[in-house]
């Protein structure tokens, strides 16, 4: 397993990170625990969760259950120190946490307390803000993104207040470092600037969607990443399952994510299936297993901290774990670039 120093922190994480957002809905606690055991046995040390998980579907009854499942694993195994754990403070508008209150100096300590209790631990390694209070262009909102109603001074005041609250939490030892999610280049640069001005901790990572099908990170955020040592933690690297090829030709396997969320969060478009086919053909021509090609490609990107994938079965997990054995050669990378040009932004 390749390891990577996260940002400028002293945390070293595996280049594959185990996603957890199905534990408590699609997966039972026993299945979640089996996934953690297998992933750790195979060299993964990094698990991503959030106070709002599980999802698909989201409900008030299950909110927080994924953290509880991870907490029960810590309690049962006593292996807290074997895992670098990332969790997230939900952003504004998420009704099941603090009635949808925006992230602020007040909510941070409350949210962390709740997570620590569910997780049965006294620290979170990477504490992330799930989405910015001012909104985000992720999750297909890019098509109609209009930041013109934002208030710069208010945004910066809130960021400074949040950094100060995070600094207090770091002093208390409840969190080790801090990351963003669903952020933009402008937003991240402001967090960095305020941290440089002494308001609080330096952002270590940005958790945004990134895959062969969703490459908005490739330009401005990529540049910010390499120059500022802020690593990408790529979520939905298999495009929520599309890139496995299992939804080609109209198939919707029973129990699959598409059987629960029919448009796959706006990813189910005609152009998406054509793009998937182009990548499946590249894998076939080169004797590669598609899931492994897709994950290996993501791990090879120059700004990659870790690739956060999801599995709902042990077979899926084993296949994903096999991607660490693979390095894509230049010929395959050129074919992928050509397919990308021909199938840019399929959703
Ligand atoms: N920060 C954020 O806003 C955000 C958003 C989304 C996710 N995340 C994080 O990223 C993690 C991963 O997200 P994701 O689950 O969307 O990632 P993904 O790796 O793109 O998709 C994983 C899903 O694809 C399907 N799959 C995986 N391997 C397969 C195989 N070999 N054959 C057939 N189907 C396969 C499974 O779904 P089915 O079996 O159900 O079809 C699995 O749950 C989450 O758990 C979470 O930690 C963060």
CATH number at residue 177: 3.20.20.100
Token pair for 293: 């090609």
Write the CA distances from 219 to 247, 257, 263, integer angstroms.
29, 30, 27
> Long-range contact list for 188-194, CB < 8 A, 24+ apart?
188/221, 188/224, 188/228, 188/230, 189/224, 189/228, 190/155, 190/156, 190/159, 191/159, 191/163, 192/228, 192/230, 194/156, 194/159, 194/160, 194/163
Count how many domains the chain has.
Answer: 1
How large is the average pLDDT for residues 183-197? Answer: 98
Find residue 87's DSSP bridge partners. 127
6 by Cβ neighbours in 10 Å (0-12 / 13-18 / 19+) ranks as buried
Q: How far apart are CA 237 and CA 309, in angstroms?
A: 6
Residue 221 lies in a domain: yes
Enumerate the active-site residues.
Answer: 53
**Nearest C-alpha to atom 45 of ligand 1 is from which residue?**
19
**Nearest C-alpha to atom 29 of ligand 1 is from which residue?**
316
How large is the average pLDDT for residues 7-33? Answer: 98
Average pLDDT in the chain: 97
Per-residue pLDDT reduced to its tens digit, 221-272: 999 999 999 999 999 999 999 999 999 999 999 999 999 999 999 999 999 9
How large is the average pLDDT for residues 194-201? Answer: 97
- The residue whose CB lies within 8 Å of the most ligand 1 atoms, and thus the one to mutate among 130, 241, 296, 305, is 241
Residue 178 lies in a domain: yes
Residue 252 lies in a domain: no
The parent domain of residue 21 ranges over 3-239+298-327
Confidence band (pLDDT; 50, 70, 90) for 17? very high
Of residues 137, 131, 204, 139, the one with CA closest to residue 166: 204
Q: How far apart are CA 305 and CA 99, in angstroms?
A: 33
Of residues 263, 260, 206, the one with CA closest to residue 229: 206
| pLDDT for residue 307 | 98
Per-residue pLDDT reduced to its tens digit, 137-151: 999 999 999 999 999
| pLDDT for residue 104 | 98
Of residues 3, 40, 226, the one with CA closest to residue 32: 40
Q: Ligand 1 — pocket residues by CB below 6 A?
A: 19-22, 26, 48, 130, 181-182, 207, 235-241, 244, 246, 256-257, 291, 308-312, 316, 319
Per-residue pLDDT reduced to its tens digit, 229-238: 999 999 999 9
**Nearest C-alpha to atom 21 of ligand 1 is from which residue?**
240
pTM value > 0.85: yes
| pLDDT for residue 192 | 98
Residue 54 lies in a domain: yes
Q: How far apart are CA 118 and CA 49, in angstroms?
A: 12
Residue 124's H or E segment, with its range, is: strand 124-129
């Amino acid at each position: 397993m390749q390891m990577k120093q996260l940002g400028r922190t002293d945390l070293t994480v595996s280049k594959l990170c185990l996603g957890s957002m199905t534990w408590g809905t699609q997966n039972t606690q026993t299945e979640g625990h089996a996934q953690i055991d297998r992933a750790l046995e195979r060299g993964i040390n990094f698990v991503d969760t959030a106070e709002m998980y599980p999802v698909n579907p989201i409900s008030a009854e299950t909110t927080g259950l994924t953290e509880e499942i991870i907490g029960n694993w810590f309690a049962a195994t006593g292996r807290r120190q074997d895992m670098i754990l990332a969790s997230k403070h939900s952003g504004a508008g998420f009704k099941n946490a603090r009635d949808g209150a925006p992230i602020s100096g007040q909510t941070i300590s409350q949210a962390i307390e709740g997570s620590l209790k569910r997780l049965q631990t006294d620290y979170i390694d990477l504490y992330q803000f799930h989405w910015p209070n001012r909104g985000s262009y992720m999750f297909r909102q890019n098509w109609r993104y209009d930041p013109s109603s934002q208030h710069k001074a208010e945004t910066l005041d809130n960021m400074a207040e949040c950094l100060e609250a995070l600094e207090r939490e770091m002093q208390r030892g409840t969190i080790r470092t801090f990351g963003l999610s669903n952020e933009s280049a402008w937003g991240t640069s402001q967090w960095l600037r305020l941290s440089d001005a002494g308001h609080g901790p330096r952002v270590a990572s940005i958790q945004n969607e990134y895959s062969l099908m969703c490459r908005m990170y490739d330009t401005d955020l990529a540049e910010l990443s390499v120059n500022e040592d802020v690593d990408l933690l790529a979520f939905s690297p298999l495009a929520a399952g599309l890139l496995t090829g299992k939804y080609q030709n109209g198939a919707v396997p029973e129990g699959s994510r598409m059987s629960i969320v029919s448009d796959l969060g706006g990813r189910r478009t005609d152009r998406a299936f054509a793009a998937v086919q182009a990548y499946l053909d590249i894998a076939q021509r080169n004797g590669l297993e598609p899931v492994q090609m897709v994950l290996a490609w993501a791990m090879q990107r120059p700004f990659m901290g870790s690739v956060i994938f999801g599995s709902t079965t042990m077979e899926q997990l084993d296949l994903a774990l096999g991607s660490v054995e693979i390095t894509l050669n230049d010929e395959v990378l050129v074919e992928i670039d050509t397919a990308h040009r021909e199938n840019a932004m399929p959703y």
